Amino acid sequence: MHDEPMSPDSAETQQQENLDGTSRIVVAFAVLAFALGGIALWALRKQFGPVDNFELLLMLLWFFFSLSIAALVLAKVRGNRLRAQLARANEKLAAAQAKLDSMARHDQLTGVLNRRALIETLDWELLRSKRTGHPFCFAIIDLDHFRSLNEKYGSASGDVVLKTVAETSFKLLRALDRFGRIGGEEFGIVLPATWLDQGVIAMGRLSKAVAQCDWEAITPGLAITFSAGITTNAVNDTAELVIKRADEALLQAKREGRNRIVQAEEALPDMPPIDID
């Protein structure tokens, strides 16, 4: 059995106890040096012969010398403690910043990317496609009749449905794909290095996986499907144009009866007629 990792608070407490133990050892060493120095000076006083107030002078020198050493030791201990406290504070600040960054990029309910992060990913993929020439696909899926589901089974069941769809998609998609929640019952998927026909096949697999989830375990009689619109990138595309094209394909899928996938491509520009004379 593996040992459970120590919590941050426990680790901090252990570190503080170690530091306090070290401080006590250092202080004890300084006190011992203080005492031994005094004994040594007292024993050597006879080597100097009779001198007026020599013993008093010797004691004062011993006292101030030992006091200086003790002050330096305590300053060192305090400096180490302050550095340790500063390091812990920086670690906590970095962890809090990382958590805030993650919260700003992820949907609170499902844990997948949120709309802003998904659009940033789409922008990045457009730049990479222009640089490498590799195509990619973008799909929008919309859960069929989700509002009716909420009204019939309640919002709690609706939340479970959204989480289940997100988990199913996350497990099925490739590691390089990016899945996010656009809003409500709509999700977006970025499929890098993917031709349109490949993207349609991937959406077909996902549609089948979602439909085959054990929805009965959530609510008896429940069945979930989705409609999808998918497109590929074109020359001079922007994230807004790609999203608009995928959304238009999604609307067409809904008009055609839902539970289907419709693909869309940017229309080729009109070419002037070729004069062969």
**Annotated catalytic sites, by residue?**
185
Specify burial of residue 163 (Cβ count, 10 A radius: 0-12, 13-18, 19+): middle
Residues in the chain: 277
d(CA 112, CA 94): 22
Long-range residue pairs from 155-161, CB within 8 A, at least 24 positions apart, any chain: 157/218, 157/219, 157/222, 159/109, 160/218, 161/215, 161/218, 161/222, 161/224
Q: What is the dihedral of CA 147, 153, 155, 161, to 10 degrees?
A: -80
The vertex-163 CA angle with 159 and 168, nearest 5°, equals: 150
Give bridge partners of residue 264 from the DSSP assignment. 231
Stated as kind and residue range, the H or E segment containing 161 is: helix 155-172
d(CA 201, CA 263): 11
118's CB contacts (< 8 A; 6+ apart) are 178, 180, 181, 182, 188, 190
Q: Which of 223, 218, 209 is nearest to 148 (CA)?
A: 223
Neighbours of 214 (CB within 10 A): 8
Tokens of 72: 């330096």
Stated as kind and residue range, the H or E segment containing 263 is: strand 261-264
